[in-house]
Structure 1
Amino acid sequence: MQAKTFLLLLIHCLLCWSLSAQPPLVYTVEHTGAAFPPPVLPSMAELPVIQPLTDPFVWSDGSGRSTEFTDWVQRRAEIKAEIEHYEIGIKPEAGEVSASYAGNTLTVEVTVNGQTLTLTSAVELPDGPGPFPIVIGMGGPTGSLPADIFSSRGIARVTFNFAQVMAHTQTRGNEPINTLFPDQTDIGAYSAWPWGVSRLIDGLEIVAADLNLDLAHIGVTGCSFAGKMALFAGALDERIALTIAQESGGGGAAAWRVSETLGAVETLGATNSAWFRLGFLNFSNAVSKLPYDHHELMALVAPRALLVLGNPDYVWLADESGYVSCRAAHRVWEAFGVPERFGYSIVGGHGHCALPNGQRPEVEAFVDAFLLGDTNADTDVTIHPYSSVDHERWTAWWGTDDPSFPAADTANSQLIYFEPECATVGSNWQIVADDEASGGHYVTVNPAIESVSAAPTGSEDHIVINFTVEKDTTYYVFGRMNCPSANDDSFWIRVDDGPFAMINGLGTNGWEWARLNPSNLELTAGAHSLIIAYRENGALLDKIRISDYPYAPEGVGAEAINICQISTDTWSPASKAGFELRQNYPNPFSGQTKITFVIPEQAQVSLKVFSALGQELAELAGRVFPSGTHTVSLNTAALEAGVYRYALRAGDFLASRWMMVWSTGPPGVSRKVHCWGSAMASL
């Protein structure tokens, strides 16, 4: 029966398309693609990395690409399913809806499994016979737009009281909607609120004849978080003819991927978790693994009408990201031959959610065209201050099989690559050989150790990378990692003396790059330190890049500045079966340091010092030692300041560590490394 209903619906849609010669302006059902089976929805770990904006015309299974409008009903259903699955939670079912109107109030009752939720909305009807187009305002009769834009045009105004469905900062499982759907505690507000708008439209359909309402011309509008609400409502209900999303920011019109490259804006990791599906913030450091982005959220509105309003004066809104996202989304309307149904106006010089006089004509044009049916209204609206922004680089790959950016212009950027195994590596880390790793080795924590709840504090737990930046600006840290599952996809990260930040959700498919800093780093020119601590064992780290260039590297990246030679195929952990090589103390140091090692049995011991390039400089042991703990004092009078490695071999046990020598003595005095003698080590 479901298949038959869908077939009739699809035939109806195709007939409408062929008769009108243009895609419909609106539909009579909430979701035209409801009968299509869901697409493949891989786990986060299985999702591929796509750095640029995803191609909205590519089927979810990668089997092909279509820009034909006749395929859009199914492709749209795929995008909707992905957004619900990964981001907001599945929009609940409609339930049984009844409605009544009295005293300028619409009352809608929704019943599911014997439980009833009541929604009430104030309705402001125009004078005259009608039929009246309708605008539903998020939190107010016209959202944050001036009421006279609608009242002067004979448009009915309906308030959506969103708190009757879910609070702005929900308590999961204890919201009004949970009386109907007690098992859907994982959904975000942007699934619940659009459900409420849809049930309000159900109620309007029931009372439409009594109120003489024009159900073919319904609009929604809201601003800020309510702008996101309006956008999701319009995207998820095809009975809405016009969506006006005002200053919706991150989580609205802005693309998550693009926002990651900007400064202090609402990124995925900095948004309100209550608005989204439980677990969505696991993508905070893996945004490029989302199989969609918010240009596709906007595309769900196509071929219906959408107007996006921005305000670049409020940095948090990430309107540069919104602009790039709008340019990408517009491609969908263009493909269907109706580019005039999508517009964006990004204008500053006014308060948040306060429509300036200069933006009013664009709003009025869209209202006239898509709520009043004025075919002469000019809706060619593409106003923005971002002429220097290269939006095309985000979509240049569309229509190809290579989801990558064009060749990067990094001429004015500082890109610093590091091999973690060549940094200062704590004894709880292993250095392991791998032909696919940059430099042939990667680092990972000892498999018996992890620290999930808090960052470990000992030097043996850390990898320290010292680096120098050239200018005061924003920097980005990327790591090339292999994190095969959700149980081994995180690290603790600290820069200089700041607090450790948990970087979770780094799941990859083999060796891939992912961003490691939770927020943009505002660094001053000069020396800094990146400290990496283990969190979950099994996370493999191959390479680090620190740069003022915001986009991830490709392949293995450029050559590291701290290349070292590791003479064995695999460097063992610094402790194993009673053997242990401890970190020298003090470290960094000048003058003298001590190196301690432990052997559980008598053994021939070699303890050698190497330069950062792998040149052997000295043997500090070279004889048989009895079982027990032994300490070597190392005098560095003949060493230049720099980074060195010391390596212990005792029987089959092999381990190494890094140490750093500070500069000592008068400036300009050269410290030679070739004049080592046996007197440099004493027991």
Structure 2
Amino acid sequence: MKTLFIISFLVLCISISATTNSYAQEIPYVYDVENTGADFPAPPLPSFDQLPIVKPLTDPFAWSDGSGRDTTFESWSRRRSEIKAEFENYEIGVKPVRPDTITATYSAGLLTVNVTENGQTLTLTSNITLPEGEGPFPAIIGMNGGSGSLPSDIFTSRNVATIPFFHNQVVTYGGKSRSDAFYKLYPDLYYVGQYASWAWGISRLIDGLELVQDSLPIDLSHLAISGCSYAGKMALIGGALDERFALVIAQESGGGGAAAWRVSETLTGVESLGNTNFTWFMQSLSQFKGSAVERLPHDHHELMAMVAPRALLVLANPDMVWLADESGYVSTKAAQRVWKTFGIEDRFGYVIEGGHGHCVVSDNQRQSVETFVERFLLGDTAINTDIEIHTYPDVDYQRWTHWWGNGEPMFPSRDWLGTESVWIEAECGTVGDKWTPVKYPIGSNASVVEVIKDAEPVSSAPENAESVLEFPFTTTRDTTYHFFMRLICAKAEAGEFWVNVDDGDYQKVTGLTTSGLQWKKLLHKELTPGDHVLKVAYSQRGAKIDKFCISSLKSTPAAEAGEIAVNICEPQYVSSEIIRKNGFSLDQNYPNPYNGTTMISFEVPTVSYVSLKVFDMQGAEVAELAGRDYVTGKHVVEFNSGNLPKGMYFFTMKAGGISLSRKMVVSGK
């Protein structure tokens, strides 16, 4: 009976495996149209202030209208069309559909494509290198070169045609002008980013190949695309938006390419959304910089996912810090979930390793390209394309996708995989005389610490305690711990600190400027189980420090304020921060001075009608922030200066027959 059960179980497993393999084989490798989802209705595309906040990576299987999620391949074309619409609406701008008037010729190795729209004509030319023989031949379209930045012999030695795409024939790299050919065809689309126009040009080149099939023997069912760096983004976007590519190879595409904007925001010195090139993207993308990236309804793991079910190979170079390849790794693992869900994970690969120059392939990368070319351009189905090489064994990529299918978009506890993290409030340690706690409503404990106004710069390692914040903490492991600090720091000179662990030598840490409150790494250090002390001293005033995280997990804390601190306290503020009368109080706004948004706190001793208004220095009302009953206790309101000119203003609270006023400074326009 036991033997019969085992045999039955094996038969069942073989049957399931065969069914899975059969299902995977039925999923197309490529399509013969640019966009299979062209006929689906557009998803909801809310304005910025109506977009929900999603801190971890967005779910690629969740419908845009919030009606649920669908992981079936049968629904993927529709879901992909939603991602496409979001990517174009919020990032690059609309990619126009194929115009009605396109002509093409091929002669003496030169492909010429003429595209006419609105009475204007754009011309694309490409010198094509064909293998010997009759063909048809698979081909690669390379950004600015026959094979992009990949070694050409990978393709020419395998009888693969090479077709260069010259993006300056569409719009000129490095600047944006209405005299560019694309904007002459579409003058109303001058707002779109260059990646939308370049992707359009790539698709028109394929249209040209289709029109000259009788004279140019290209196998249109086996097309690849590749590029590196900014052209790596171009190749990824072009390949994601045109389903006629069977293989997409994105080389060192960095921020705006394979890297996820959300993850990059947690890293230092990388191409984040706030410092990318907004000529490439729409200028309006900049509204998502800093913590506002959490309102973006998609991210770049979904840009990669748009390639599915076709083949995608991601090449990265972590030696180039700007490329944000830790973010690229997290994003790549998230995108891989789509291929795995459909049972076709062998169509997705990545090699993230250094030891080579920018846009130069390593030995492993070259081998992976050759393998993917053999499989997806030449049709060798026996070759193994399960390729996953990276240098981030300590990065917890799963935290970013843990919520998919599990409810609300929240991160799990930082230590959900068994690591150890210690959280410390900055204002609750031993605060040196040159520091002061101040109320900061959006801080972790509604407070931060900052350097007092008359404090002198500290140009060398501190010799006394007045410039130092000191925090005792305890660890339970014999391992490397990583020290992170959550702060707000707009000026480079203020983003320099002296850091000391266990009374060792002070280390100077620089480059900690931020866009809003952000986590930044200070250092890492081997620690043994037991009690320890962290000391942090300022170099120059100007930063506000909120919280610390000391963790055996290498990755930067992703949660906004982290978890409850071990040293939580009720901060003691200087008396000038709050004015009080008859139990009513009005706090100084923070930040102050400010540009954009500031927070104002007040307290009422009993249920009271509160009027809170902002005035200019001539007494003219510019905003009403409160005008209703408030229950007993503390309350916080937000004020956005909007288009107010820079200068001095005051805000007045009236409640319970008393009036309290404070001044504030708008440092913006």
Q: Name the CA distance, whole Å, in 1 between partners of 2:359 and 2:547.
A: 39
Q: Does 1:220 align with 2:225?
A: yes
Mapping of residues 354-503 of structure 1, within 5 Å? 354-409=360-415, 411-413=420-422, 415-416=424-425, 423=437, 468=469, 475-477=485-487, 493-494=490-491, 497=494
Q: Name the CA distance, whole Å, in 2 between partners of 1:570 and 1:224.
A: 58
Shift of 1:515: 6.0
- Is this contact kept in 2: 1:493–1:530, CA < 8 A? no
SS of 1:359's equivalent in the other structure is helix
SS of 2:187's equivalent in the other structure is coil
- 1:566 to 1:171, Cα distance in 2 relative to 1, 3 A: same
- 1:110 to 1:563, Cα distance in 2 relative to 1, 3 A: farther
Q: Name the CA distance, whole Å, in 2 between partners of 1:62 and 1:651.
A: 47
Summarize deviations over 1:486-530 as a string: whole Å, max 9, x none: xxxxxx94576579xxxxxxxxxxxxxx96158958699314777
Q: Counterpart of 1:120?
A: 125
Q: Counterpart of 2:315?
A: 309
Q: Does 1:178 align with 2:183?
A: yes
- 1:653 to 1:81, Cα distance in 2 relative to 1, 3 A: same
Q: Name the CA distance, whole Å, in 2 between partners of 1:189 and 1:107.
A: 22
- Is this contact kept in 2: 1:22–1:337, CA < 8 A? no
TM-score, normalised to structure 1's length? 0.67
Shift of 1:353: 0.9
Q: Name the CA distance, whole Å, in 2 between partners of 1:241 and 1:83.
A: 21
Larger displacement relative to structure 2 (41-50 or 200-209): 41-50
Q: Does 1:526 align with 2:515?
A: no
Shift of 1:152: 1.1
Q: Does 1:270 align with 2:275?
A: yes
Q: Counterpart of 1:322?
A: 328
Shift of 1:61: 1.0
Q: Counterpart of 1:41?
A: 45
Q: Counterpart of 1:348?
A: 354
Q: Name the CA distance, whole Å, in 2 between partners of 1:312 and 1:519.
A: 21
Q: Name the CA distance, whole Å, in 1 between partners of 2:548 and 2:409.
A: 23
SS of 2:69's equivalent in the other structure is coil
Q: Name the CA distance, whole Å, in 2 between partners of 1:292 and 1:477.
A: 27
Q: Counterpart of 1:250?
A: 255
Larger displacement relative to structure 2 (267-276 or 127-136): 267-276
Shift of 1:40: 0.7
Shift of 1:571: 3.1
Question: Which residue, 52, 58, 63 being the options, matches 1:59?
Answer: 63
Mapping of residues 586-625 of structure 1, within 5 Å? none
Q: Name the CA distance, whole Å, in 2 between partners of 1:175 and 1:518.
A: 39
Q: Counterpart of 1:141?
A: 146
SS of 2:318's equivalent in the other structure is coil
Mapping of residues 10-89 of structure 1, within 5 Å? 21-89=25-93
Shift of 1:36: 1.0
Shift of 1:23: 1.2
Q: Counterpart of 1:551?
A: 558
- Is this contact kept in 2: 1:89–1:186, CA < 8 A? yes
Shift of 1:361: 1.6
SS of 1:571's equivalent in the other structure is strand
Larger displacement relative to structure 2 (409-418 or 319-328): 409-418
Shift of 1:22: 2.4
Shift of 1:357: 2.4
SS of 1:124's equivalent in the other structure is coil
Q: Counterpart of 1:632?
A: none
- Is this contact kept in 1: 2:248–2:313, CA < 8 A? yes
Q: Name the CA distance, whole Å, in 2 between partners of 1:46 and 1:169.
A: 33
SS of 2:105's equivalent in the other structure is strand
Summarize deviations over 1:442-492 as a string: whole Å, max 9, x none: 99xxxxxxxxxxxxxx99xxxxxx9837799663337xxxxxxxxxxxxx9
Q: Name the CA distance, whole Å, in 1 between partners of 2:468 and 2:558.
A: 19
Question: Which residue, 189, 192, 199 being the options, matches 2:197?
Answer: 192
Shift of 1:184: 0.8
Shift of 1:359: 2.1
- Is this contact kept in 2: 1:310–1:345, CA < 8 A? yes
Q: Name the CA distance, whole Å, in 1 between partners of 2:468 and 2:294.
A: 26
Coordinate RMSD, CA, aligned: 3.9
Report the residue type matching 1:516 in the other structure: G
- Is this contact kept in 2: 1:264–1:520, CA < 8 A? no
SS of 1:32's equivalent in the other structure is coil
Report the residue type matching 1:552 in the other structure: A
Question: Which residue, 267, 281, 287 being the options, matches 2:286?
Answer: 281
- Is this contact kept in 2: 1:416–1:561, CA < 8 A? no
Q: Counterpart of 1:673?
A: none
Q: Name the CA distance, whole Å, in 1 between partners of 2:656 and 2:56.
A: 50
Q: Name the CA distance, whole Å, in 1 between partners of 2:376 and 2:183.
A: 35
Q: Name the CA distance, whole Å, in 1 between partners of 2:470 and 2:96.
A: 50
Summarize deviations over 1:345-372 as a string: whole Å, max 9, x none: 1122111111122322211110011111
- Is this contact kept in 2: 1:97–1:109, CA < 8 A? yes
Q: Counterpart of 1:516?
A: 516
Question: Which residue, 93, 97, 113 being the options, matches 1:93?
Answer: 97
- 1:335 to 1:213, Cα distance in 2 relative to 1, 3 A: same
- Is this contact kept in 2: 1:241–1:370, CA < 8 A? yes
SS of 2:394's equivalent in the other structure is coil
SS of 2:560's equivalent in the other structure is coil
Identity %: 49
Shift of 1:552: 3.0
- 1:235 to 1:573, Cα distance in 2 relative to 1, 3 A: same
Mapping of residues 561-576 of structure 1, within 5 Å? 562=571, 571-572=585-586
Q: Name the CA distance, whole Å, in 2 between partners of 1:359 and 1:494.
A: 40
Summarize deviations over 1:622-673 as a string: whole Å, max 9, x none: xxxxxxxxxxxxxxxxxxxxxxxxxxx9983346899xxxxxxxxxxxxxxx
Summarize deviations over 1:550-591 as a string: whole Å, max 9, x none: 32336996656625698677534789xxxxxxxxxxxxxxxx
Q: Name the CA distance, whole Å, in 1 between partners of 2:213 and 2:424.
A: 62
Q: Name the CA distance, whole Å, in 2 between partners of 1:52 and 1:114.
A: 46
Shift of 1:398: 0.7
Shift of 1:174: 4.0
- 1:25 to 1:560, Cα distance in 2 relative to 1, 3 A: farther
Alignment gaps of 5+ in structure 2 = 1-20, 429-435, 455-466, 472-480, 497-513, 524-534, 551-555, 590-618, 620-654, 665-669
- 1:274 to 1:109, Cα distance in 2 relative to 1, 3 A: same
Shift of 1:327: 0.8
Q: Counterpart of 2:306?
A: 300
Shift of 1:547: 5.6
Q: Counterpart of 1:635?
A: none
Q: Name the CA distance, whole Å, in 2 between partners of 1:233 and 1:522.
A: 38
- Is this contact kept in 2: 1:172–1:186, CA < 8 A? no
Report the residue type matching 1:294 in the other structure: H
TM-score, normalised to structure 2's length? 0.68
Report the residue type matching 2:121 in the other structure: T
